[in-house]
Structure formats: C-alpha cells, structure tokens
Chains A and B, each alone.
Chain A
Amino acid sequence: MTSAEAVPPAPILELVALHKNFGPLKVLDGIDLAVRPRELVFVIGPSGSGKSTLLRCCNRLEEPDSGAVIVDGADIMRPGTDLNAVRQKIGMVFQSFNLYPHMTALGNVTLALRKVQGLARDAAEARGRAALAQVGLADKENSYPNALSGGQQQRVGIARALALGPKIVLFDEPTSALDPELVGSVLAVMRELKAAGMTMVVVSHELAFARAAADRVVFMEGGRIVEQGSPEAIFGNPREARTRAFVSRLSQGHG
C-alpha cells in the first residue's frame, strides 16, 4: 500500500448515468457518483428529489431503468449477477428501522448470517453479539424490538447491517423517525463507524452530523446532482442558488 498516496483507491460504489422513472416522473435523471473506501458521502435534497431512490438503486431494492451500479468492481446490473451475494457487501439502514418484530435483537442480527451466509448458529451468534456490542447493545440481545426505544431499535438495525461484514453501509434517513433525544445515540454509533473506517452513504437532514463527519456533501434536486463538495463548501459557500436556498431553509428548520 505504499502507492496509496499516488493512485486513488478504486471506488467501492460507483453509479454511472443512473436513470429511474416512476411513470412519467424522472426520479433519477442521470446520476454519476463514486464513493471511495472510508468515505462518508452525505446526500441532502428536498423531499422527492430522489435521494432515497438513489440509495435503493445501489442494491437494486429499486430497479434502475438504465445505467450502471458498480459495487466493488463489478457491475451488478449485468444479467446473471447473484444479487443476494452482492447484497452481503451492502448494508442498509432504514428510516423506520424495519426490525423483525417476531425475533429478538440477536435473532434480527443473525438471520441473514445463518440463512444467507450459511453460518452455524454458534458462529452466527458470536458475530451477532460482536455487532450488537459495537452499537452498545450487548445487554439487549434477548430483547424484542417492541421492548427497545427507537434509538435502540435503530442501533440494532445498524448492527444487523454490520454483522454481514459489508464493504459499504447505506443509511436512509436513519434518525428521521426518532424522538430528538434519541437521535444522539444513533449518530454517535455512526460517528464511531466512520472513525473505524467504514464506507458510508447517508441520506439525512442532520446538518451538524454532516459538518462533523461527512467527507463530501451531495445536493440533489429533481433527480440530478446539483452540486457536491466538502461540507464547508456546500454549507458555507454553495455555488448554486438552489443549494443555497435549500441549505438556508434546512438550517432554519433544524436550528
């Protein structure tokens, strides 16, 4: 790795000319985006700008109409791609947590380990416990989701994504459904993840978090990337009028 300075590392995730329509509506209208290892890319934009769809196209939870989605060097849009194997590399964290209510925290975290990665129960549970410990919930492994606070549920959601050993984790508004006093615990886990070198794409409105942790901020509107740059550039001195308008509205709304 002596040449790491000279040659930029290959992106873990690369979107090329991504298009997605819902009927006549162009939700994604030609998105190009490359996410490099250890990078935290923060995506902002008004609702309906295509942020969530963008994330969901990265693991083909939503099927793009055209374009390439290159994950770890392979275009996963190619026919014959083993999507379930690819999805092991892409963790996903949802706005509404989407924990399995009929399983304990440990059950939630170990399901895919056992059924997709084929681990024996013992091995899966060891990995699951490690993931729960990573998000500070080692003592909650036997709790069912309805016995956990929203913040704890979301951290289980993060542990569920981490347990699979992903190369990148996608966060779809991970704190939007949380009471304000619970947001901090989730952001703290995300900050630790970032410090540990995880590659992340985060769709969120938490500007303070973006300022503190993001390497790059991407502003989307109307299915296109309008502007991207460092948090300082986007929040402090945006080039585009639309970015400026959105950022100032967002800053007012969220203090």
Chain B
Amino acid sequence: MAEILDTFFNIEILLRVLPFILEGLGMTLLLCAITVPIGLAGGLAVAWVWSLKKRYVNWALVVYVDFFRAFPPLVLLIFVYFGLPFVGVDLSPFAAVAIAFLLNASSYYGEIFRAGIESVPHGQWEAARASGLSRFQTMRYVVLPQATRNVLPDLIGNTLEVVKLTTIASVVALGELLHAARLAQSLVYNPTPIVAAALIYLALLWPAVRLLRHFEHRHLVAR
C-alpha cells in the first residue's frame, strides 16, 4: 500500500512539481476561456446563417459542418499552426488554437443550436415578427432563449468535450495542464504529476457533469 502511494501519490514529489502543474492549470483555464466562447459564438453564427434558409448557403454550411466534425482536431491544429506559414500566414500559438477551435467547435455547437432553433415552434417566429420585431430581435429575445433551454444538456456536454480537447494545444507549445504533468513526470520519473493532473481535471469537470445529469434528469421527468 505504501508502495502504491509512494509511486502514484508521492506527496513530496507533488509539492516539488506543484508550481509547474498549477502553471499548466492556468494555461488550461486560459485556453478554455478562449475556446469555449469562440466555439459558442461561431456556433451561434452558423445557426443564424442556417436559419436564413438560403438554399445554396445552407449547402455550403452542411459541407463546412460535416467536414470539420469529421476532421481530427489535432491534425487541424497542426495544419493551422505549421501549415499556414507556408502560404505566408504566421500565427501565434494562441491565434492558431483560436482558429482551429473556431472551425471545430463551431461545427458542433452550430449543430446543437440549429437543433435547438428547430425545436422552437414556428408560431413563436410568427408572433414575434407580427408584432414588429426584426428577424434578429426575434432570434435574440424569443427563439434563442427557448432553443438554448431545449438543448442545454447538449451544450454542456459539448463544452465538456471542448475543455478536454484543449490538451491538444500542447502541440503548439502551449504548456497546458496535461503537458505540464507529462513534462514533470519525465523529470521526476514518477507518475504522481499525471495523477494530480487527472484529479484536477476531475475536480474541474465534475460539477459540469453533475449539472448535465441534473438537466438530463429533468428532461426525462418532463417527458
């Protein structure tokens, strides 16, 4: 038992690498603060354009969404960061992450918002438009609040995925939590930093998972 603790949860090692790990945590939080809003905003934009129901635009949108949902996000980030300089576009690591997550996350969020918007009865549009609200106002004040509520579990679930996906930022030398932990592990020859990182992820995501469960349960009950 002591051996297991010594190997996987060595307090002395933990204290030594803690500043390093915390720095990684800070980067992970920063990445989340960038990627989640960008993904949500991109997804809203995708859903908004889709709602205009211009046939050819929507065909292009389907291609966009399908492509970036199928394309591996890690490869996408590598293309953006290491590929674009060849065509003269030099990006900072953060800009590369922002672009890659915009393309990837907006596809997923866009589909979720689209489903949400579709779930709002057409009569809501009619009532709002008949009272003089513009298309945008109708979306903002009438449709989107209901749409968001209807797909909240999916939005939370996808946000969890985005948070976990921020680990790929390490390939563009952004030392996020997992990267910091692996580096620390290789320095101290002990898996304790990895375990610590895992526990931090768990602590970070657990409340969101509970929240998700809460909403899913409510949906089940509502039915």
Which residues of A pack against B, CB within 8 Å?
A: 59, 61, 84-85, 87-88, 90, 92, 94, 96, 98-102, 111-112, 115-117, 157, 160-161, 164
B132 adjacent to chain A (CB < 8 Å): yes
Q: Which residues on the B side are within 8 Å of A90 (C-beta)? A: 130
With contact pairs A94-B126, A98-B123 given, residues A84 and B146 touching in the complex (Cβ less than 8 Å): no
In the complex, the answer to whether B132 meets A102 with C-beta atoms within 8 Å is no
Bound CA–CA A236/B137 (angstroms): 48
**Which residue on A lies nearest to B134, using beta carbons?**
A84
Tell me the B128-153 residues at the A interface (CB within 8 Å): 128-134, 137, 141-142, 145-146, 149
Mask: chain B, 193-222; 1 = CB below 8 Å from A; 0 = not: 000000000000000000000000000000
| Total cross-chain contacts (CB, 8 A) | 62
With contact pairs A94-B123, A96-B123 given, residues A102 and B131 touching in the complex (Cβ less than 8 Å): no
- Give 14 pairs: A residue, B residue, CB < 8 Å, sorted on A: A84-B132, A84-B133, A85-B132, A87-B132, A88-B131, A92-B126, A94-B123, A98-B121, A100-B142, A111-B142, A112-B128, A112-B131, A112-B132, A116-B137
Q: Which residues on the A side are within 8 Å of B91 (C-beta)? A: none
**Which residue on A lies nearest to B143, using beta carbons?**
A100
In the complex, the answer to whether A116 meets B127 with C-beta atoms within 8 Å is no
**Which residue on B lies nearest to A112, using beta carbons?**
B131
Bound CA–CA A102/B141 (angstroms): 10
B124 adjacent to chain A (CB < 8 Å): yes
In the complex, the answer to whether A87 meets B141 with C-beta atoms within 8 Å is no
With contact pairs A100-B142, A102-B146 given, residues A61 and B129 touching in the complex (Cβ less than 8 Å): yes
In the complex, the answer to whether B141 meets A111 with C-beta atoms within 8 Å is yes
In the complex, the answer to whether A111 meets B133 with C-beta atoms within 8 Å is yes
**Which residue on B lies nearest to A113, using beta carbons?**
B131
In the complex, the answer to whether A112 meets B133 with C-beta atoms within 8 Å is yes
In the complex, the answer to whether A101 meets B123 with C-beta atoms within 8 Å is no
Q: Which residues on the A side are within 8 Å of B123 (C-beta)? A: 94, 96, 98
Question: Shortest Cβ distance from A201 into chain B, in angstroms?
Answer: 14
In the complex, the answer to whether A87 meets B137 with C-beta atoms within 8 Å is no
In the complex, the answer to whether A115 meets B133 with C-beta atoms within 8 Å is yes
Q: Which are the 8 A-B pairs with shortest beta-carbon distances?
A: A98-B127, A112-B131, A98-B123, A116-B132, A87-B132, A92-B130, A84-B132, A102-B145
In the complex, the answer to whether A102 meets B149 with C-beta atoms within 8 Å is yes
In the complex, the answer to whether A88 meets B124 with C-beta atoms within 8 Å is no
Bound CA–CA A74/B132 (angstroms): 17
In the complex, the answer to whether B124 meets A87 with C-beta atoms within 8 Å is no
Q: Which residues on the A side are within 8 Å of B134 (C-beta)? A: 84
Q: Which residues on the B side are within 8 Å of A117 (C-beta)? A: 132
In the complex, the answer to whether A99 meets B133 with C-beta atoms within 8 Å is no
Question: Shortest Cβ distance from A86 into chain B, in angstroms?
Answer: 8
**Which residue on B lies nearest to A82, using beta carbons?**
B132
**Which residue on B lies nearest to A86, using beta carbons?**
B132
Question: Shortest Cβ distance from B141 into chain A, in angstroms?
Answer: 6
In the complex, the answer to whether A61 meets B133 with C-beta atoms within 8 Å is no
Bound CA–CA A93/B88 (angstroms): 58
**Which residue on A lies nearest to B145, using beta carbons?**
A102
In the complex, the answer to whether B133 meets A59 with C-beta atoms within 8 Å is no
Question: Shortest Cβ distance from B222 into chain A, in angstroms?
Answer: 11
With contact pairs A111-B141, A115-B137, A115-B141 given, residues A98 and B126 touching in the complex (Cβ less than 8 Å): yes
Question: Shortest Cβ distance from B175 into chain A, in angstroms?
Answer: 43
Q: Which residues on the A side are within 8 Å of B137 (C-beta)? A: 115-116
Q: Which residues on the B side are within 8 Å of A61 (C-beta)? A: 126, 129-130
Bound CA–CA A115/B127 (angstroms): 14
Q: Which residues on the A side are within 8 Å of B141 (C-beta)? A: 111, 115
Bound CA–CA A160/B146 (angstroms): 19
Q: Which residues on the B side are within 8 Å of A157 (C-beta)? A: 127
Q: Which residues on the B side are within 8 Å of A115 (C-beta)? A: 133, 137, 141
In the complex, the answer to whether B132 meets A88 with C-beta atoms within 8 Å is yes
Q: Which residues on the B side are within 8 Å of A112 (C-beta)? A: 128, 131-133
Question: Shortest Cβ distance from B130 into chain A, in angstroms?
Answer: 4
Bound CA–CA A59/B128 (angstroms): 12
Question: Shortest Cβ distance from A162 into chain B, in angstroms?
Answer: 11
Bound CA–CA A100/B137 (angstroms): 13
Q: Which residues on the B side are within 8 Å of A102 (C-beta)? A: 145-146, 149
Q: Which residues on the A side are within 8 Å of B132 (C-beta)? A: 84-85, 87-88, 112, 116-117, 164
**Which residue on B lies nearest to A111, using beta carbons?**
B141
- 20 new A-B contacts at CB < 8 Å, known A90-B130, A111-B128, A116-B131: A59-B130, A84-B132, A84-B134, A88-B132, A92-B130, A92-B131, A98-B121, A98-B126, A100-B142, A102-B145, A102-B146, A111-B142, A112-B133, A115-B133, A115-B137, A115-B141, A117-B132, A160-B127, A164-B131, A164-B132
